[in-house]
Homo-oligomer: A and B are copies of this chain.
């Protein structure tokens, strides 16, 4: 179940930080580690979890692996969230009708 993989992946704060960093621009695993006090294997394992959840996708470039955000995972979160739009605050009420189109 992909939805479960996604929410489990996002449950870790380090992984959300990695994802957030990646959202500001694609980069390889070494660049991701910069300023993040995390070991190389730990980073590799986190990226593996994120990739498995389709939150991130990789592209090998020589001995580097370039990582970037994969919209697929985010889309699942968006759809999960859209199921509960009835409970969203009124000030983003306009969002509700738009999300209705999302369902098809």
Q: Which A residues are within 8 Å of any B CB, using their own CB?
A: 1, 4, 7-8, 10-11, 13, 16, 20, 23, 69, 71, 74-75, 77-78, 81, 83-84, 86-89, 92, 94-95, 98-99, 102
Contact = CB atoms under 8 A, between A and B. Distances in A.
B102 A87 contact: no
A16 B7 contact: yes
A88 B102 contact: no
23 contacts: A1-B13, A4-B13, A7-B7, A7-B11, A7-B16, A8-B11, A11-B11, A20-B83, A23-B83, A23-B84, A23-B87, A69-B84, A74-B84, A74-B88, A75-B89, A77-B81, A78-B88, A92-B98, A92-B102, A94-B98, A95-B98, A95-B99, A95-B102
A20 B80 CA distance: 10
Contacts of A92: 78, 98, 102
